[in-house]
Structure 1
C-alpha cells in the first residue's frame, strides 16, 4: 500500500456526462458537467489500478474480483489546477470552488464589486418542509452593499481564495479565468448508402482543458488539470502506467507526478479566530441533506444545532449555512450492469459558520487540522473536504 500524488491532464478535453438522458428536449444531446465529480475520478483510478495489476502479475481479473480488490483504491485529495503551458505545478496553480458567501454585484455606477454575505441573528423565516425551530433560528446572510447580482465563475485561483478565507479584501474575478466548452458532433455512416444514419447522429458537450489567453505581444496557452492524492495498493506500481481513461468516451489523460507539498495549507491561514468559516472544497454527503452529520437540536432560547467537527475536540454551534441547490448523483454498476442508487450531495462551495459551544476561540492548530479534512460520508472518494477560514461573528445576546 502506497500513496501517490499526480495530476491528470486531459489533452483533448473532458466529457463528464450529467444525469440527463440522450432523449431530452434536444434529441441526441449529451450534457457535460462543468467539472468531473470525485466519484468519476475514483472510478477511473480503480480501472487504471486493475490494468496495472494485470500488467504486473500476468493474471486476468474477473469483473467481480476487479470490483472487490480495487475497493482499496482511495482518493485522498481532489483539487483543480491551472498553469501556463510548460510550467511546473506549484501551490500557486491551485483553483478552488467559489464560496457561496461571495456575491458579484453591479453597483449603481455600473462598476463590478465583490461583497460578502455576513450572517446576522434574526431575519425572515425559511420555508422548510417541516417544523424545525433550530433551523428557523439559524442566522441569515446580509449583503454589505446593494446592486444587481452577477453570475459567479466556477473556480477562484489560490491567491484570491486564501485572501477570502483570511478575511482580506478581494477584487472581482475577470470573466476570462473560467473554463469553456465546445460541442462535438458524432455520426455513423451507413455502409450500404454511404450516408449518415439519422438515428446515430448525436452531440456531446466537452470541457476544454487547454485555452489560449490574449496577452501583450501575443497569446499564452494555459492548461487545466486534476490534482490527485490517492492510496495505490500493491501489487500495482506507484503511479498509473500510461494514460488514464477519464469520463465519457474514456478520453485519455496523461499522468504527471506531483509533490505532496502541493496539497499543504498556507502558513498565513493558520490564525486564531473567534468564529469559524468552513468552505466545502469537494461535495459532501450528509445523512440529513444539508445538515452535517453529528449535529443535533439543543433546546434553549433560541434552540440551536450543536455537534462536533473533524479534528476539533470542543463541541461547536452551527450559526449559519449557505448551501446551494443539492446535487443528485448516480452512476452505473459495471459488475451488475444496472444503475447505482442515487445519492444527494451538498455541492462544493457551500459555506458553514460556527462558534464554540460555551465560548472560546478556534486555535491556529485546529485550523491546520481542519485543512482538507473529510466531513460526512465518502472519505474514500474525497468527499466533504473543507477549507477553514476566519470569521468574526457579530456580538449577540446571552443565549443567542
Structure 2
C-alpha cells in the first residue's frame, strides 16, 4: 500500500487547481484521473444486492443476490464473507473499483423504503454482518463503502430530516455498526443526506470525531450523490470527495477559499492523500496492484442459493416437508408471487438480473411428474 511519505511526494507534484479538481467526481460514477500521478479514474457502483455498474440498462445484466436483510438472518459471518467475495468478483467483471455497500442503517420504522438494503434493527447484528461483508468484498481487491453515515434510518424527509439524538443513543445504536466496519478495515464511508444535531452530515463534525480521529478511519469519505448542496459545504471538514461531477459546489469556490486563507491548503492535501491511498488499494495507481490479489471467482449462483435457503426460517413442520415426489399427485403454490415473484427492492440498489425463476417454475423443475399449479389466493383489498 502507498505510504504516507510516498503520498506526500505525489501530492507535491500538483498545483492547487489540480488537487481540488480531484475532489469532485469526473462524472456520475467516476473519480478524476491525473496523468502526472499515474492515477486512473476509479469507478463506483451501487449495491448491495448486486453490482449494477455505470448504466441502468436492462441489457447489462447483473447477478442478483438475496437482500441484506436475508444476510442478517443467516447468523453466519463466513457465508456473508462469501457473498462479499461474490460482490467483488461481479465488481471486477464490470470494471468497478468501489461497491457502495454495505448499508449499515437500521430498521427503525416499518415504513422505511430502503430497509431491504439494511441488515437489522439491532446495531450489534448489523455491525457484525456488515463487517463480514466488508472483509469479503475487500478481500477481492475491491473497496466496500459503509453507508449512510449516520442516522439515515427513516423514509420521511430522508433527504432533509434533522435527527436529534442523545450522545449515548448515538454511540450505542446509530454509530455502532459503522465503528464495526471501521474496525474491519473498510476503505470508504459515505456521508448521508440528513442532518444530525442541526448540521448536514456532509459538513458534520462526526466525520472527524469519532470517525477519523477516535476510530482511526484512514479511507475516503464520499458524499451521497447530490448531498453537498452549498458552496464549500464540508470543504474544511471531514468530507473528502463530492459526488457526482463534474460540476459541484467546491471547484473554483474551494480554490478561491484556499487562496484567501478561509480553508487551509493542508485540508485539501489530506483529502487528496486519502484518495491516493484508496487508489493504491484498488490498483488505480500506476505500478500498484490491489492490496489483495483477486482470488478465483466463486460459484456465485451456488452462494446465492445457499444464502436464500439458509436465511429462511421454518416455524413449523407437520411432516409435510421435505416433499416426496413419489407420494405427490398435485402441489398448489398460493399467491400472486408464485408466478411473478418480488425478488428485490427498487431505487438505487436495483439491478437487472439475467432471468428470474419463479416459485412455480422452481417447483415444477424439482418435482418432475407431479402436477404443480398456481392458485391466486385471497383477493387483496386496495
Same fold (TM over 0.5): no
TM-score by length of 2: 0.22
Higher strand share: 1
